[in-house]
Amino acid sequence: MSSESVEEYLEAIYSINERGEKAKNQELAEKLKVSPPSVTQMIKRMADEKLVEYEPYKGATLTGKGNALAQKVVRKHRLLERFLYDYLKLPFEKVHDEACRMEHSLSDETTAALCKALDNPETCPDNLPIPHCSLGIDDCEQCEEARSKIIEETPLTTQLSRLHPGEEGTVAYIRSGVQSGKRLQDMGLTPGTHIEMVNAAPFQGPIEIEVRGTSLALGRGLASHVYIHVEDEGKPWRRVHPHGPHHN
């Protein structure tokens, strides 16, 4: 399965899950303009790669790893929409399709530069939130400095609230107010701490995690403030540059 196809599916499923719904095959087929059997085949392959959890006739939800990958694509897409609409003055009805064409070839470095040029916007022209930078930095100068120290591709990051049972990773950073931040720190959720998702109620329900051998329960809202670097073995979806591997 090509990285571009995977990214299109991840983005489509993300936009549906974002509404608090499972992505059903028929809706995905209409959204991606492909046949329902093609959707079924791709979703099963993505489930094998642990990018989605899929229940026949009910739909698909992104795993933590799937969410992390989706948020990278969605971030690029919504930043591009902002640029096309605000700076190039393209008509509103055209920016989505144009951003779709461009997002797959946009590097992490160019995405960071685009974000800086746009002054770190919070929403796209549709008023949907732009996922945060995976480094957890709001200040553009600090972001530039942090990126200069990264040798490999930016690690995959998503909210703790988006992980599924069995998934694990390390705390990357916390985005919250002082009170909730202190509460999370008191629970031992500090940067570098390894966590494993033990149980998660659907969508907005509470979650149970294991931290340093201790089981902790916390609400989904509180968990959404904790960003996790997710495990990323294999990387079968890793993008290959269209002009050859020396461009990666």
34-43, 128-137, 155-164, 222-231: which has the minimum mean pLDDT?
Answer: 128-137
pLDDT tens digit sequence for 193-211:
999 999 988 767 889 999 9
Q: Is the dihedral of CA 12, 17, 22, 27 positive or negative?
A: negative
- Out of 1.10.10.10, 1.20.1050.40, 1.10.8.60, 1.10.287.1400, the CATH code matching 67-148 is 1.10.10.10
Q: Using the predicted structure, report yes or no on whether residue 235 has a pLDDT greater than 60.
A: no
Does residue 48 carry a pLDDT above 80? yes
Q: Domain 3-62 belongs to what architecture?
A: Orthogonal Bundle (1.10)
pLDDT of residue 139: 63
For residue 234, give the 3-state DSSP assignment: coil
- Say yes or no to pLDDT of 154 above 90: no
Cross-strand pairs, 23: 60
Burial grade of 40 (CB within 10 A; 0-12, 13-18, 19 or more) = middle
For residues 167 and 64, is the Cβ–Cβ distance under 8 A? yes
Task: Report whether pLDDT(241) > 80.
Answer: no
Task: Indicate the fold that domain 157-230 takes in CATH.
Answer: SH3 type barrels. (2.30.30)
Q: Is residue 183 within 8 Å of 221, Cβ to Cβ?
A: no
Mean pLDDT calculated for residue range 6-15: 96
pTM: 0.82
pLDDT, mean of residues 124-131:
95
For 201, counting Cβ atoms within 10 Å of its Cβ (0-12 exposed, 13-18 middle, 19+ buried), the class is: exposed
Q: Is 230 helix (H, G, I), strand (E, B) or coil?
A: strand
β-partners of residue 158 are 228
Domains 3-62 and 67-148 are alike in CATH topology: yes
Matching residue, tokens 């992104």: 62
DSSP H helices, the chain, are: 3-17, 25-32, 36-48, 64-86, 92-103, 108-117, 140-148, 178-186, 220-223
Q: Which residues contact 88 (CB under 8 A, 6 or more apart)?
A: none
The model's pLDDT over 92-115, given as tens digits with 9 standing for 90+, comes to 999 999 999 999 999 888 998 999
Domain limits, the chain: 3-62, 67-148, 157-230
The pLDDT tens digits of the residues spanning 12-23 come to 999 999 999 999
* Averaged pLDDT score across all residues of the chain: 86
